[in-house]
Structure 1
């Protein structure tokens, strides 16, 4: 089982998800040719998304680091990024159990009516594996680690159900939800912040959606031109050469144009399968709407998400240098900021200003949690034989090392059986309450 999980982690989502989609399409009795084509298109879409996001992080990240390196502050915990975190999670003692445990929890919740999501994004089960890994280290008990995975899965599925109406209204996706361990906790934060923003005079009247900006500012409100301006602005602040500034501007503009189109390619393959799967599941669960759980990579192409992510790269680095007590140096996971914002954007209805301000506020606890979880993550990395970057002694990540959900589960794990059992009960109650809320909301629509 452990070797199988390692093989899966090495394949990555661009290969694993198309295989799952192909099998699912065959179960739904789609013609083999159509099932195969849909699976390949989805794989191509994921490769394209990863390439574009990698391009964004590769040009914006170094420029942003240039902006803050003169501060003289030294941060000694290195953000090694989500790929390393996933490898550490799946390489842990409970990592191999994450997929069967998570799938079993999902099926039980479906049977008992506690969720409306069937999560087929198996590769991203590493998020619950990470929760299990850190609790196993805290308690030195694999059983508690498995319990942590159960709790994480319940909460992530519940948040996927809760966020689906916002996804449907903003993106128009009717048959899919997003039980993604990175994005879902920030959805709750966005709900709280949006409520606060609505109470601030003046700020609550500010309409800053991409559509309104383009209408108000003409060509300068166009998402491509906004990307160009943001890129040039960061390049100037970083003190780059003229050629580097121009290259940065054009690159960010390209990302603003290309990423939504790459997402459209992915959706071309996904939607027929998702629609068919939803119909099949409704036959198995009559009278209930069942959603197919997917990766929030599908959502990161929103212009608001891209534009806000570009601005948040230097902001996040700046926060890292000025926040007292923070020791985390953001690095690899700067490229994952679009995933952090993916479920915040629909809550803010695409308002660029709210998304930037909300994202800035969200990064403050993210950096502190990344610092707090660094000792456990460093120990976990050593236990699985993770190769540390040159000069790195302590490591962390913004994903999931800076995520509030693993931190809450870790805190409960410190009280062992009492803490984890209490959190499990709260998670089940939370799932029940949200399920009733979602059902009532959908019936009223």
Structure 2
């Protein structure tokens, strides 16, 4: 076991831009796509991840977060909990005891669920298993038990895999990625909230008829409706509120303050470059996805449709997702300072808002109005969750000797504001672990319900296929 943990830990430490090309090349060969085609596809995905990380980490994580921090300092706004960002959260998670075994453990759980027909998703996105480890690390602290932490990580994975199955048809339709699901620990946690808010809106006359079609904004407003102009306007406003001048300045301590024009161009670049990097991801994934879909449908046809589980990064370039995310950046900052009881100042993880929306956008059927309402709800709830979990996250950071940069308390939007992580952590701690038993039973019931749904879907697919064959149609039908 130690050797296995060391191997997977070493692979994971290479980073997602290296891990995913390796995994996808191996998978492509296994699915019969050929080594050359698989290698090219894997490298294309790796390049897409590098480009996406450069854009998000630099333009949003540094430029945008710097503008927000300057705005906070300018107006003397003070909150006590620092948002340290997802890279810090993942480092804390993978540095925990749960994190050391999460990759082989999560792969085993996924395999068991595939064999028992309780999931349709083969989750190859092993890098993002850290989300499960993060939940497990917090539960291990609050319950003072590593074993309960491991159990919490497994419960988290089971729920997220089912969410990935349920949202896959909408993901296929919205993103145009056949045979792909997104069993992402962060993005998936907001799907139940999106379904709930969507359901409530449908019950309100008048409100249910409101539809802001983000895609039609360009036609309606001309050039000012284009994403690049919207990004520039938002960047300009934040730069002005931050007190940035027309020209860059150098302070006494040597710090360079950019101009508000620079921030405007940076945010315009975000709206252009992220979709292009996401397109690279999808370009690389399609050959693997097509080969996987073909062999899975052939070998596992009795199980209904099967999906390849991928990183939610493939959906961050969606025009609706990106537009809503950028609009909600200043909204998130506003909420942080007006919500009574919130102590978290959003900084590093403002760049994670697009990931929050990857499943929300398909669920609300790209309705911008509903997307904004869901976004405001999840952000508001998220700040309270991040505040509540801050002591545990700070303790988890101390346990792995993480450098908190002088901050007394830390949290994050990803995964510190994750509602699924919060439910598992807080409910799991009730009754000296009894709550975790209840959650485990609930996860098993959910998995069995999913199996029933999968079997029914498979029977329906076979009925259609048999009917086509009897009528002389089938593969030749258009």
TM-score clears 0.5: yes
Output the CA distance in 2 between the equivalents of 1:397 and 1:227.
24
* Alignment correspondent of 2:470: none
Q: Note the C-alpha offset of 1:163.
A: 1.0
Matched, 1:83 2:87: yes
Output the CA distance in 1 between the equivalents of 2:390 and 2:11.
26
SS state of the match for residue 97, structure 2? coil
Taking a change above 3 Å as real, the CA distance of residues 247 and 70 of structure 1, as seen in their structure-2 partners, is closer
Matched, 1:166 2:170: yes
Which of 30, 37, 40 is the aligned partner of 2:40?
37
Output the CA distance in 2 between the equivalents of 1:140 and 1:8.
29
**How many equivalent residue pairs?**
444
Matched, 1:348 2:369: no
Q: Which runs of 5+ in 1 are unaligned?
A: none
Which of 331, 336, 350 is the aligned partner of 1:315?
331
Matched, 1:424 2:424: no
C-alpha contact (below 8 Å) 1:136/1:145 kept by paired residues? yes
* Alignment correspondent of 2:243: 239
Output the CA distance in 2 between the equivalents of 1:93 and 1:300.
31
Output the CA distance in 2 between the equivalents of 1:5 and 1:317.
38
Q: Note the C-alpha offset of 1:200.
A: 4.0
Q: Which runs of 5+ in 2 are unaligned?
A: 248-258, 465-478
Q: Note the C-alpha offset of 1:374.
A: 1.2
Matched, 1:293 2:315: no
Write the deviation string for residues 191-245 of structure 1: whole angstroms up to 9, x where unpaired.
1112223344444333322222223222222222222232223333333323523
Output the CA distance in 1 between the equivalents of 2:277 and 2:217.
24
Output the CA distance in 2 between the equivalents of 1:392 and 1:317.
19
Q: Note the C-alpha offset of 1:438.
A: 6.2
Output the CA distance in 1 between the equivalents of 2:163 and 2:25.
27
* Alignment correspondent of 1:195: 199
Taking a change above 3 Å as real, the CA distance of residues 199 and 247 of structure 1, as seen in their structure-2 partners, is farther
Taking a change above 3 Å as real, the CA distance of residues 429 and 133 of structure 1, as seen in their structure-2 partners, is same
* Larger Rg belongs to: 2
Taking a change above 3 Å as real, the CA distance of residues 10 and 97 of structure 1, as seen in their structure-2 partners, is closer
Q: What TM-score, normalized by structure 1, do the two folds share?
A: 0.94
Q: Note the C-alpha offset of 1:93.
A: 1.4
Output the CA distance in 2 between the equivalents of 1:215 and 1:439.
44
Output the CA distance in 2 between the equivalents of 1:216 and 1:344.
24
Taking a change above 3 Å as real, the CA distance of residues 439 and 208 of structure 1, as seen in their structure-2 partners, is farther
Stretch of structure 1 that moved more, 166-175 or 209-218: 209-218
Which 4+ runs in 1 deviate beyond 6 A?
none
C-alpha contact (below 8 Å) 1:333/1:398 kept by paired residues? yes
* Alignment correspondent of 1:263: 278
Aligned-residue CA RMSD in angstroms? 2.1
Output the CA distance in 1 between the equivalents of 2:413 and 2:124.
24
Write the deviation string for residues 313-340 of structure 1: whole angstroms up to 9, x where unpaired.
2221221112111111222111111111
Stretch of structure 1 that moved more, 428-437 or 84-93: 428-437
* Alignment correspondent of 2:469: none
Which of 127, 131, 142 is the aligned partner of 2:146?
142
Q: Note the C-alpha offset of 1:441.
A: 6.8
Q: Note the C-alpha offset of 1:17.
A: 0.7
Output the CA distance in 1 between the equivalents of 2:444 and 2:135.
17
Equivalences for 1:333-372 in 2 at 5 Å?
333-372=349-388
Output the CA distance in 2 between the equivalents of 1:289 and 1:240.
53
* Alignment correspondent of 1:209: 213
Taking a change above 3 Å as real, the CA distance of residues 222 and 201 of structure 1, as seen in their structure-2 partners, is farther
Which of 342, 359, 362 is the aligned partner of 1:326?
342
Taking a change above 3 Å as real, the CA distance of residues 402 and 189 of structure 1, as seen in their structure-2 partners, is same
Stretch of structure 1 that moved more, 19-28 or 407-416: 407-416
Equivalences for 1:381-400 in 2 at 5 Å?
381-389=397-405, 391-400=406-415
Output the CA distance in 1 between the equivalents of 2:229 and 2:206.
27
Stretch of structure 1 that moved more, 191-200 or 318-327: 191-200
Output the CA distance in 1 between the equivalents of 2:79 and 2:457.
46
Output the CA distance in 1 between the equivalents of 2:77 and 2:271.
33
C-alpha contact (below 8 Å) 1:45/1:266 kept by paired residues? yes
Which of 208, 226, 247 is the aligned partner of 1:222?
226
Matched, 1:92 2:107: no
Output the CA distance in 2 between the equivalents of 1:52 and 1:354.
27
SS state of the match for residue 292, structure 1? strand
